[in-house]
Structure 1
Amino acid sequence: MKITITDTYEELSALAAIQLFEAVKQKNDLNCCLATGASPMGMYKNFIDMVKQVNLNIDHVLWTKLDEWVGLPLDNPSTCESFLKTYFLEPLDIKSEQFLSFQADPNTIQQECETIHNKLNERPLDICILGLGKNGHLGLNEPGEYLIPNAHVVQLDALSQTHDMLNHQVVTQGVTLGLYEILNAKKIIFLVNGADKKAVYQKLMKKEISTTLPASFLWLHDNVEMIVMRDVAE
């Protein structure tokens, strides 16, 4: 794992955006998994500005959603879908066929998990953008006795149920790509931002791999670029 420590969120965002931009320049049909939340927001803004500045052709890139809250309509402002449309897809005029998404309807979600897994077997991720959850989760792969490798429905732990994105809405389940699909990505850009992540970051840096800390499985991947804020790392 390559670790870069930055002094500001702006620096973290710029470095991450450059990595994605260069990857798209090198492979214009790559498959990139998009995380949501405060950590990647600045990265997305920088990437959008860079693409527009040079008019980079991204018409063949596939953008894959990492996870979603189960039970909320996709047009609900708190969904990952709404976040990605607002802060990434719409500013770049991404076509619907370039976005690998999934509904979060409890009645159909199991079948959708199978569909997503099959599609990622056909076209594996080239890049996966991740943030570090306050409880150490990756996507919505929550801490527990075991982890599930493929896309699946998960019971959210208490901390995830109070995520800022939910804005006090009651959600008890999520759907997420599994650890196999995440670790199968050729490269992972791992963003660690927020002073409230310090304790879980310190636990991660012990390099002890455990299902109680899903992020620890990133130590098994040979191409992880972690960009971490100094107030978290020190």
Structure 2
Amino acid sequence: MADGGASWEFAAESLRVRVLSSQRALGQAAAAHTAEVVRASVRERGEARVVMATGNSQLPFVKALVDVADVPWHAVTVFHMDEYVGIGPDHPASFQRWIAENLERPLAPARVHYLDGRAASPSAEAARYEDLLREKPIDLVCMGIGENGHLAFNEPYQADFADERWARVVSLDDRSRKQQVDEGHFAGIESVPETAISLTVPALLSARSLQVAVPERRKAEAVRAALTAPVDNSCPATALRRQGNAVLFLDPESASLLDREG
């Protein structure tokens, strides 16, 4: 079993996995990785286009990122990867609000493209966002893994690894909705929307670099499944094992169900 000692690394097929010594160390390592990718993209192409996940599990990484010096945020465009249908930026659970508070205000990127959860037509909003994503290549996607193994809101048995769309309206399964309640974003599951606009698996995996930051014991089962289960949509995160441009950052708790040998 994984321990809480020194950091260690291994590969799960093409996916590079780094187990850090603590949640804080995970955040710092992921932040350093993001900074490196952003600097290289701006140096090579004059800009960087980055998709950012939201949620409690991303806070150690994002808080560490704010402290990293010499990142050219003035040349960075930020996208987020999902938003609840029917929820606006005034709602405490809004992912748009999360991006604004944790990324836009402290980092001041050149621009942030927001998904509008209150759009009159969610499907039209998904198409609008897809057009923005496809304008130029995505340099980096920073994501997590859900407790049920989802990527963004691409849910088990619904995720399409060959989806031609880059954003679409999706249905949320009950475990995803319960996770939002357990994280304190909603009072009860009846308050959690049943649908969301989400980037698809092909959109997420299209980036030049993929970063997956997954701390906390509650993610341990999903991490084990992502690294050991058959690669299919019963656990969407298994798709990461085919990505040689991806790195998964874990802490001792999220890696607690893994063998040391990987």
Q: Which position in structure 2 is the counterpart of 1:7?
A: 21
Paired amino acid for 1:36? T
Q: Does 1:114 align with 2:130?
A: no
Map of 1:186-197 to 2, 5 A cutoff? 186-197=208-219
Q: CA deviation at 1:183?
A: 0.8
Q: Which position in structure 2 is the counterpart of 1:47?
A: 65
Map of 1:49-128 to 2, 5 A cutoff? 49-51=67-69, 54=70, 56-95=71-110, 98-105=111-118, 107-128=120-141
Q: CA deviation at 1:100?
A: 1.6
Q: Distance in 1 between matches of 2:38 and 2:53?
A: 17
Q: Which position in structure 1 is the counterpart of 2:173?
A: 157
SS at match of 1:205: helix
Q: 1:212 aligns with which of 230, 234, 238?
A: 234
- Which contiguous aligned blocks of 4+ residues in structure 1 show a shift greater than 3 angstroms? none
The 10-residue stretch of structure 1 (119-128 or 59-68) with the greater mean CA deviation from structure 2: 119-128
Map of 1:2-41 to 2, 5 A cutoff? 2-28=16-42, 29-41=47-59
The 10-residue stretch of structure 1 (201-210 or 150-159) with the greater mean CA deviation from structure 2: 201-210
Q: CA deviation at 1:113?
A: 1.1
Q: Could you say what the CA RMSD is over the residues aligned between the two structures, in angstroms? A: 1.6
Q: Distance in 2 between matches of 1:198 and 1:45?
A: 22
Q: Which sections of structure 1, spanning at least 5 residues, go unmatched?
A: none
* Residues 48, 92 of structure 1: 8 Å contact kept: yes
Q: CA deviation at 1:165?
A: 5.3
Q: Does 1:232 align with 2:217?
A: no
Paired amino acid for 1:170? V
Q: CA deviation at 1:2?
A: 0.8
Q: Cα–Cα, structure 1 residues 92 and 215, in superposed 2: closer, same or farther, change >3 Å?
A: same
Q: CA deviation at 1:46?
A: 1.5
Q: Distance in 2 between matches of 1:86 and 1:58?
A: 16
Sequence identity of aligned pairs in percent? 22
The 10-residue stretch of structure 1 (68-77 or 14-23) with the greater mean CA deviation from structure 2: 68-77
TM-score normalised by L of structure 2: 0.82
Q: CA deviation at 1:231?
A: 2.1
* Residues 153, 175 of structure 1: 8 Å contact kept: yes
Q: Distance in 1 between matches of 2:37 and 2:68?
A: 13
Q: Distance in 2 between matches of 1:223 and 1:205?
A: 16
Paired amino acid for 2:185? L
Q: Which position in structure 2 is the counterpart of 1:201?
A: 223
Q: Cα–Cα, structure 1 residues 183 and 57, in superposed 2: closer, same or farther, change >3 Å?
A: closer
Q: Distance in 1 between matches of 2:158 and 2:35?
A: 37
Q: Cα–Cα, structure 1 residues 177 and 145, in superposed 2: closer, same or farther, change >3 Å?
A: closer
SS at match of 1:166: coil
Q: Cα–Cα, structure 1 residues 102 and 165, in superposed 2: closer, same or farther, change >3 Å?
A: farther
* Residues 20, 250 of structure 2: 8 Å contact kept: yes
Q: Distance in 2 between matches of 1:152 and 1:221?
A: 23
Q: Distance in 1 between matches of 2:38 and 2:225?
A: 33
